Structure 1
Amino acid sequence: MVGKLKEDSTINEQLAQKPFEKPDFKAEKKKKKRRDRDSVRLEENEVSPKTKVQEGTDSELQKKKKKHKKSKDVNLDIKISDEKEEAKVDENSTDGSVVVTGKGVKEAKFVPLKSFVESGLPDEVLECCRTFKSPSPIQSHAWPFLLHGRDFIGIAATGSGKTLAFGVPGIMHVLKKRKGKMPRGRSPLCLVLSPTRELAQQISSVLENAGKPCGVMSTCLYGGVSKGSQISCLKSGVDIVIGTPGRLKDLMEMEVCRLAEVSFVVLDEADRMLDMGFEPEVRSILSQTCTERQMVMFSATWPLQVNQLAQEFMDPDPVKVVVGSEDLAANHDVMQIVEVLDDRLRDDRLGALLEKYHKSQRNRVLVFVLYKNEAARVERMLQRRGWKAVSIHGDKAQTERTKALSLFKSGSYPLMIATDVAARGLDIPDVEVVINYSFPLTTEDYVHRIGRTGRAGKKGVAHTFFMQQNKGLAGELVNVLREAKQVVPDALLKFGTHVKKKESKLYGAHFKEITADAPKSKKITFNDSDDE
């Protein structure tokens, strides 16, 4: 704060040397009040350094103090300011930048973790991180704030380590609340909401392994399977509930899942959850959790609908960490090939591409389609042609979907056809190639689809079929390709490159039009020529 006052003084001296301008008395009066208020806070902190947030007349400060006073295990080492602060850190991110905003981030002496040991967490909690050399960017920037009880928004690409970014602070939250005692029949303290069953299962697997060494129990609630085992698990007592909105709401209405004690809530893939129409369920579920809760939201993009939900259920101006960019951008480790063709030619072209990319029938290839019946048809067609293929889509029972995913992950059936149920959040190891047999309904889904490859620093290939009926998304796709310095085919440019903001309701103003003379990159080949 002293540095801030000196900075103000230096700025005033520089302004004094400028030619005379008519002063803005109202603005000067506001600045003087702010400086006086900062000086008083500085003196109070020097007298009582242990005091984190001083009492005052400001209603927002009173709300902050009241919320965190009730939770003795939370020790906020921050001081709330009157203006939105911003810190920029240039290290370890996908595009070299991490932006942190929110009230008090500067006063909190924000320091991202360079190692897991720096967090000071118990060895049994850090056991889940022992296979990693260092925290990922979202982990290193999220933990300091989450462990100190701040409401938090994380914007990061898929495959960035988000599960442990919120999972480890969630486990610590449980341990502090339980104070080392884990009684039977206990009600959950932590809730994680996920848009899809597969993602919920994946999060549950990570948190079960992470919580086991310290006795923190998790359960996963999702539809498509019997409720019996899920009800039994809830009755025996759990600490963390991971679930999809539909099944969770059903069990709440049956009064077997009670969330009144939940004080740590995570919305993972928040944008996708609302896009799938789960907003009424999400609002209903959140209203049943503890009013003195810590809210965490992770999302790949930040559309208006998600922002409105955050404003309603989170503290005013929470900490927001953006790793890379809020704009829609594809993973630069993925080589994108877009091919414009007639839909009647897709089956034969898919066969030719599999001969090229999947000749060994050992490497993992993921084929995306748009509709459930299309997934079943393509699966049968490929099986008739001799390919070992499985599929996951909404018409399959959950047990069949789980089995198919397991066969694909193990490599027993390394070719999988999937609808967009598999595009979000799933961590499928070593997928070398993604083929978009059908272009998705949104460019955002395209980015998430191709994000299934090129993960954990590896390179990947995404080959996409683009047809006449997809021409409304041509401009957005061109922008994504150019941002990643990929080749833009002339056939795609013929559909036009203009993008109207109002056409992209999901992203708001995320898309920025790129001029036609933007630089293009050289074509990269995958073994043989891509034109064969």
Structure 2
Amino acid sequence: MSANATEGAVSFADLELRPELLRALSSLGYEEPTPIQREAIPPILTGSDVLGQAATGTGKTAGFALPALQRMPEGERGPDPMTLVLVPTRELAIQVSEATHRYGQELGARVLPIYGGQPIGRQIRTLEQGVDIVVATPGRALDHMSRGTLSLRDLSMVVLDEADEMLDMGFAEDIEAILSETPQDRQTILFSATMPARIDGLARQHMSEPISIRPAHETSTTDESPLVRQSSYIVPRSHKPAALGRILDVESPSAALVFCRTREEVDELTVTLNGRGYRAEALHGGMGQEQRDRVMGRLRNRASDLLIATDVAARGLDVEHLSHVVNYNVPSASDAYVHRIGRVGRAGREGVAITLVEPREHRMLKAIERATNSQVTIEKLPTVADLRARRMELTRAALQESIMEDDLDHYRVVVEALSDDFDVMDIALAAVRLAHETNATPADEEEIPEVSLKQPKRNERGARRSTNKGRNGGGERQSRGPAGGMARIFVGAGRSARIRPQDLVGAIAGETSLAGRDIGAIDIADRFSLVEVPESAAEDVIRALRGSTIKGRKPVVRRDAR
């Protein structure tokens, strides 16, 4: 389907949606469909399979949720779901479920998110009462299917949302197992921010003559975010906190999202930036859902202006006034970069994507540029003089706004009293200095050294995941310890049980808040596996793996003794 075919003033009413859905959209402030919604909704309503490429924030949730709600019958409905939406993370499951519930409230839509980390008994009780739409992570969906608490016999639609993320997290086999239990005549909808070869293979195997949707406004990363300015700064690791603070001071974002690799990095950076005067909040998998909700509430209410987060915790978040996204480290994959910068530049709003690059990471940045067919400009880090000039400009702008908008008459008595002894210009200069010192964060007096780009040495390459590097010839474990800040987990299943690295990554990422990139080295021997995870998440991972299955079995899981 061509994007040009649907250009023009198209309303939701033109898409022939039910009156209940139109009223819900109107009450939520939706005025007209986005490009992906204009192109996806009509063929989905006619029953066609749809393969859509859509970046985060383009409105794809409504693109599949509205048709799913449209086909719900009036009156009594059966207990089993008619639509199954598979998503990579629990955060996205919650977001999609909440949005779908809002759209279908007048229809009495029964929407249930099922994901790891929530008591399964509560989910079982709700499933027994009957649901219309289930939004699930693959691992938890399979768990319910094996228990007989989730029946797919009445499914008419299956949606794979952020399919590339699910494959990256090792859910390929889980998705295959789930789809094999669904009716042959189901409708399949697949949305993905990127279209690697694995997505094409999935579509060929499980979709029937799918209609490809790729709106003209989203033909590439550059086009997906036409209003996003992408830039980078080469910064030594030891100076990154100070460099980030200086960049934020110069950029003055209305709200910024900073991506870090680990929980520890999130917590440390949050403390540092709060010390610089920012209202920073941390968001990561070590926090409870209530705490996460409070953090997001403060950000959306503008009580805070800076969110420091891990990938998984921030996935699926949409904050209207977000102006900047910062990669505190170069993302390990181009897909992650695409998802991150998709947080800004939405709905015609301008945005900025900034990446801090250590000298050894320069090749990684070039690889992202090639993969995304976009250019990330390398900028010169602001100097102390640049920072002082910017802060002075902010003071001038604040004073100008106060003069134009505020009622200053009740301060006149102060100026008149002082003018008997001092020149009015001196009084004004003193007032400006007080305003500047009150509102400005402390200046960085130390210059951050410039660094030259150099190619990494061979021995600087990171550790690789392997299925046999963790054993000697006789299958014994090597005696090396885990990397700094990491704990090593023993899993009592290995190659003899056909365990692969992606199986372990998928199990951990599906049942905990860790992303695949948070997981360290994986060594797989014949009868066991060793997995490195952040020390702060070790106990959560052990509990989650003990309560889940890997390749259909529940292996022994504990900390490694060595």
TM bucket (normalised to shorter chain) is 0.5 to 0.7
> 1:428 and 1:274, CA in 2 relative to 1: closer, same or farther beyond 3 A?
same
The answer to whether 1:238 aligns with 2:238 is: no
Tell me if the contact between 1:174 and 1:190 (Cα under 8 Å) persists in the aligned partners. no
Residue of 185, 191, 211 corresponding to 1:319: 211
Task: Report the alpha carbon displacement of residue 267 of structure 1 after superposing the two structures with TM.
Answer: 0.5
What is the distance in 1 between the residues matched to 2:9 and 2:175?
32
SS at match of 2:42: helix
Residue of 109, 122, 129 corresponding to 2:18: 122
**Which residue does 2:516 correspond to in 1?**
none
Residue of 438, 446, 449 corresponding to 2:340: 449
- Per-residue CA deviations over 1:321-340 (Å, capped at 9, x if unaligned) read 11235544451211222101
Tell me if the contact between 1:173 and 1:264 (Cα under 8 Å) persists in the aligned partners. no
What is the distance in 2 between the residues matched to 1:139 and 1:385?
42
**Which residue does 1:161 correspond to in 2?**
59
Task: Report the alpha carbon displacement of residue 418 of structure 1 after superposing the two structures with TM.
Answer: 0.9
The 5-angstrom pairing of residues 293-372 of structure 1 reads 293-315=186-208, 317-324=209-216, 325=218, 327-329=220-222, 331-358=225-252, 363-372=254-263
What is the distance in 1 between the residues matched to 2:194 and 2:379?
27
What is the distance in 2 between the residues matched to 1:218 and 1:481?
36
Tell me if the contact between 2:258 and 2:325 (Cα under 8 Å) persists in the aligned partners. yes
Give the unaligned 5+ runs of structure 1: 1-86, 94-111, 497-532
SS at match of 1:417: strand
Task: Report the alpha carbon displacement of residue 383 of structure 1 after superposing the two structures with TM.
Answer: 3.7
> 1:192 and 1:373, CA in 2 relative to 1: closer, same or farther beyond 3 A?
same
AA at the equivalent of 1:351: G
SS at match of 1:452: coil
Task: Report the alpha carbon displacement of residue 195 of structure 1 after superposing the two structures with TM.
Answer: 0.9
**Which residue does 1:152 correspond to in 2?**
50
The answer to whether 1:247 aligns with 2:119 is: no
Task: Report the alpha carbon displacement of residue 478 of structure 1 after superposing the two structures with TM.
Answer: 4.2
What is the distance in 2 between the residues matched to 1:291 and 1:399?
40
Give the unaligned 5+ runs of structure 2: 381-449, 456-562
Q: Give TM-score scaled by structure 1 length.
A: 0.66
Tell me if the contact between 2:235 and 2:243 (Cα under 8 Å) persists in the aligned partners. no
AA at the equivalent of 1:451: G
RMSD: 2.7
Task: Report the alpha carbon displacement of residue 234 of structure 1 after superposing the two structures with TM.
Answer: 1.4
What is the distance in 1 between the residues matched to 2:115 and 2:326?
28
Task: Report the alpha carbon displacement of residue 166 of structure 1 after superposing the two structures with TM.
Answer: 0.6
AA at the equivalent of 1:154: G
Matched residues, percent identical? Answer: 35
- Per-residue CA deviations over 1:77-99 (Å, capped at 9, x if unaligned) read xxxxxxxxxx5343788xxxxxx
What is the distance in 1 between the residues matched to 2:361 and 2:101?
42
SS at match of 1:212: coil
AA at the equivalent of 1:192: V
The answer to whether 1:473 aligns with 2:347 is: no
Deviates more, 1:378-387 or 1:268-277: 378-387
**Which residue does 2:386 correspond to in 1?**
none
What is the distance in 1 between the residues matched to 2:220 and 2:203?
18
Task: Report the alpha carbon displacement of residue 368 of structure 1 after superposing the two structures with TM.
Answer: 0.9
- Per-residue CA deviations over 1:345-367 (Å, capped at 9, x if unaligned) read 101112223333458xxx32111
The answer to whether 1:262 aligns with 2:155 is: yes
What is the distance in 1 between the residues matched to 2:45 and 2:39?
11
SS at match of 1:429: coil
The 5-angstrom pairing of residues 386-425 of structure 1 reads 386-422=277-313, 424-425=315-316
Tell me if the contact between 1:196 and 1:244 (Cα under 8 Å) persists in the aligned partners. yes
Task: Report the alpha carbon displacement of residue 145 of structure 1 after superposing the two structures with TM.
Answer: 0.8
What is the distance in 2 between the residues matched to 1:147 and 1:478?
37
SS at match of 2:72: helix
The answer to whether 1:90 aligns with 2:16 is: no
What is the distance in 1 between the residues matched to 2:346 and 2:354?
16
**Which residue does 2:75 correspond to in 1?**
181
What is the distance in 1 between the residues matched to 2:171 and 2:373?
33
Task: Report the alpha carbon displacement of residue 297 of structure 1 after superposing the two structures with TM.
Answer: 0.2
Task: Report the alpha carbon displacement of residue 196 of structure 1 after superposing the two structures with TM.
Answer: 1.5
AA at the equivalent of 2:157: F
Deviates more, 1:370-379 or 1:135-144: 370-379
AA at the equivalent of 1:140: R
**Which residue does 1:458 correspond to in 2?**
349
The 5-angstrom pairing of residues 73-112 of structure 1 reads 88-90=2-4
Deviates more, 1:425-434 or 1:268-277: 425-434
SS at match of 2:154: coil
Task: Report the alpha carbon displacement of residue 312 of structure 1 after superposing the two structures with TM.
Answer: 1.4
What is the distance in 2 between the residues matched to 1:345 and 1:243?
41
What is the distance in 1 between the residues matched to 2:90 and 2:53?
22
AA at the equivalent of 2:348: G
The answer to whether 1:431 aligns with 2:322 is: yes
AA at the equivalent of 2:40: A
AA at the equivalent of 2:43: F
Tell me if the contact between 1:113 and 1:140 (Cα under 8 Å) persists in the aligned partners. no
SS at match of 1:298: strand
The answer to whether 1:223 aligns with 2:116 is: yes
SS at match of 2:230: strand
SS at match of 1:464: strand
Task: Report the alpha carbon displacement of residue 456 of structure 1 after superposing the two structures with TM.
Answer: 1.5
Residue of 213, 221, 226 corresponding to 2:106: 213
Tell me if the contact between 1:481 and 1:487 (Cα under 8 Å) persists in the aligned partners. no
Task: Report the alpha carbon displacement of residue 169 of structure 1 after superposing the two structures with TM.
Answer: 0.8
- Per-residue CA deviations over 1:404-445 (Å, capped at 9, x if unaligned) read 333323323332111111554332221112222111111221
What is the distance in 1 between the residues matched to 2:294 and 2:39?
36
**Which residue does 1:190 correspond to in 2?**
83
Task: Report the alpha carbon displacement of residue 126 of structure 1 after superposing the two structures with TM.
Answer: 2.0
What is the distance in 2 between the residues matched to 1:152 and 1:281?
21
What is the distance in 1 between the residues matched to 2:9 and 2:151?
35
> 1:253 and 1:381, CA in 2 relative to 1: closer, same or farther beyond 3 A?
farther
Residue of 352, 370, 374 corresponding to 2:265: 374
Task: Report the alpha carbon displacement of residue 240 of structure 1 after superposing the two structures with TM.
Answer: 0.4
Task: Report the alpha carbon displacement of residue 495 of structure 1 after superposing the two structures with TM.
Answer: 6.3
**Which residue does 1:109 correspond to in 2?**
none
Residue of 139, 162, 165 corresponding to 1:272: 165
> 1:228 and 1:482, CA in 2 relative to 1: closer, same or farther beyond 3 A?
closer
AA at the equivalent of 1:142: A
The 5-angstrom pairing of residues 28-43 of structure 1 reads none
What is the distance in 1 between the residues matched to 2:252 and 2:23?
37
Task: Report the alpha carbon displacement of residue 233 of structure 1 after superposing the two structures with TM.
Answer: 1.8
Task: Report the alpha carbon displacement of residue 482 of structure 1 after superposing the two structures with TM.
Answer: 7.5
Deviates more, 1:255-264 or 1:341-350: 255-264
